[in-house]
Structure 1
Amino acid sequence: MRTVLELPAHYDFAGTLAPLCLGRADPAARLSHTELWWAVRTPDGPATLHLRRNGDTAEATGYGAGAGWVIEAADAIAGLHDDVRGFATLADRHPVVRRAWHDRPGLRMTRTGRLFTHLLPTVLAQKVSGKEAFRSYAKIVRHFGEPAPGPLDGLLLPPDPARIAASPYWVFHPLGVEQKRADTLRRVAAVADRLEAAPDPATATARLTCLPGVGDWTAAEAVRPAYGDPDAVTVGDYNIPHHVGYALTGAARAGSRESAPGRISEADARMLELLEPFAGQRARVVQLLMAATPAPPRFGPRMPLRSFARF
């Protein structure tokens, strides 16, 4: 099944679709500046969406039982339902944001409609480095996954939530996931159908944050690409508050990262204060700043890579 999508002026193909692919070695996705392969479990069954850019259009091809679903959703997945009218006026409230929008006007926000797809890597990224999280994610997809529909060799479907929910903790231990994250992942997978049925980002966030082990950080990171929510700003991230603060004020650090139950960190509070003029579009501003402005200087070593999978 195929359709052709009309792309807006200056459309940023790779930048917009980056949330669908966790790097070059993602077993369930492939992304370049002109092409996306994305394996997904849809309400109609397994599917692969292939997007190929050709100038100001993109050809969308669907494979598998869910081909019709991904073709119908292709424009939303590609961020073409993202409404940026009026954002240029809002961006004028700060010269750095105005410049970032001028430099990257083609960035859009995806709306995949598949919440568990984003919850899987997000839960695995809780309290560990990005490399550790990706390593566990890739192992889980290879362990639970199966060949994705379509002609691309090596592409795998993400795990069926039912299989994740039914697996005991010891299955995840050799994959590099300790019991706390494994239990959270199994808990989320057990109610995946109810979570996927949430009609809007606010409802999805409320349902998620009622689950033990799921806080504001996890909810925002999953809800934003699933629903295309331009205001789902991430609180509790290790790097984002410092990046936002550095971009908007020049300060190398936004403040202390120490937090407590019911109290956000000083760095997060400062980030939210700086983003307040952009209420309703705060996540879009963060997306722009992360894409178009330099990262703050580093003052210490990177987090060490750890693994207890063999113990």
Structure 2
Amino acid sequence: MSSVVRRWRSGRPVDPHQVIGGLRKGPGDPAYVVEPGRRTVWRATRTPDGPVLLRLTPYATVGEVEAEAWGPGSAWALDGVPELLGEADSWDGFSPLAEHQPLVDAARRFPHFRVPRTRAVFEAMAAAGIEQVVTGKEAFRAWRVLLREYGEPAPGPVAPDGRVLMVPPSPEEWRLIPSWQWLRAGVEGRRSRVVITAATRARALERTLELSDSSEIERRLRSLPGVGVWTAAEVRQRAHGDADAFSFADYHVSRNVSYALTGEELDDDATAELIEPYRGHRFRVQALLQLAGITHPRYGPRKSLPTHTPGATHRLR
């Protein structure tokens, strides 16, 4: 199968994996491979025109990325490469406070980080639904099992590590997964229902890309049963490129961010007050500190995780 190649000149050094690495579901993700050394990213995804395999090769010294695509979704994917790599994102209005030295340092260390915009709302919702209330390890395993069983082999060549990448299932295919297969993947009924319900409303989800009001986008996402503040934020971060979509109601994020900024572990409400000066860029704060690898101390056995759905105890609006 022949490919289509385009070069995008960003005017700044771009590390594709640094920008879109949050889309990878663990090192064994069947839809995402990053080459060591050069940091070339291979990503399989589903577009409105069909499946696509996209390879992103950075040329940092000249501020270019070579994008090569295979499959019927090639034109759509290549048109979206600038947004995927954060071209629509802006640091305007973001200025780390002097008293938040770790954030100052992270901003200096990662000045070219941008928030990506995949334009794939249902795909982001399916992944976030699977990730609810479980550890990353459990969610990544479920993603691997389900994509290998129900995904579609990506068009084009195999990845450098010999793997055939898998395109995530279409909404219709997610709906047809038997309940026992969800359980086999470790996804109980409450989480699988989020994905299945989202699949029945996939077109409406994609229409949220036409909106510019982030609060309205969040309202529409949260109108789906089982979708709360955390899930909606994860979707807005990935699909909409929302630099303000902080992951409230996550077991670790508020604690990590507050610890980095103050040396204390705070809950969601206190962290919301702490990062209020960064409104419009609160996810950027989260992402920069995560890139810097700053986390709160972990002691003792793993605790139970919170609920990322509307029934969770959460007072933030």
Query: TM-score band (shorter)?
Result: 0.7 to 0.9
Deviation of 1:132 after TM superposition, in Å, equals 0.7
5 Å matches for 1:266-277? Answer: 267-277=267-277
* Distance in 1 of aligned mates of 2:121 and 2:29: 18
Displacement after TM superposition at 1:169 (Å): 2.3
Distance 2:98 2:241 in 1: 22
| Partner residue, 2:258 | 245
RMSD of aligned alpha carbons:
1.8
- Return the letter of the residue paired with 1:135: R
Deviation larger for 70-79 or 191-200:
191-200
Q: Say if 2:28 is the partner of 1:25.
A: yes
Output aligned runs, 1:170-249, within 5 Å.
Answer: 170-198=180-208, 199-200=210-211, 201-249=214-262
TM-score (norm 2): 0.86
3-state DSSP of counterpart to 2:137: helix
Q: Are positions 1:132 and 2:138 aligned together?
A: yes
Match of 2:118 in 1: 112
- Please give the alpha-carbon distance, in whole angstroms, between the structure 2 residues aligned to 1:110 and 1:91: 24
Task: Give the whole-Å Cα distance in 1 for the aligned partners of 2:172 and 2:220.
Answer: 18
Q: Say if 2:46 is the partner of 1:36.
A: no
C-alpha distance in 1, partners of 2:51/2:154? 7
Corresponding letter in the other structure for 1:19: G
The sequence identity of aligned pairs, in percent, is: 36
Which runs of 5 or more residues in structure 1 are unaligned?
255-266, 305-311
| Structure 2: distance between partners of 1:69 and 1:81 | 17
What residue is the counterpart of 2:50 in the other structure?
45
1:96 positional shift: 2.9
- 3-state SS of paired residue (2:275): helix
Deviation, 1:81, is 2.3
CA deviation after TM superposition for structure 1 residue 166, in Å: 3.3
Paired position in structure 2 for 1:67? 74
Q: 2:30·2:148 contact (CA, 8 Å) conserved in 1?
A: yes
Residue matched to 1:264: none
Cα gap change, 1:49 to 1:236, in 2 (>3 Å): same
TM-score (norm 1): 0.88
Distance 2:157 2:217 in 1: 34
Task: Report the number of matched residues.
Answer: 290
Question: Match for residue 259 of structure 1?
Answer: none
> Cα gap change, 1:95/1:280 in structure 2, threshold over 3 Å: closer, same or farther?
same
Q: Give distance in 1, aligned partners of 2:99 and 2:111.
A: 16
Report the secondary structure of 1:197's partner residue.
Answer: helix
Matched position secondary structure for 1:121: helix
Q: Say whether 1:291 aligns with 2:297.
A: no
Q: What amino acid is aligned across from residue 291 of structure 2 in structure 1?
A: A
Q: Show CA shifts across 1:259-305 (max 9, x none).
A: xxxxxxxx00011111101111111011111111521111222359x
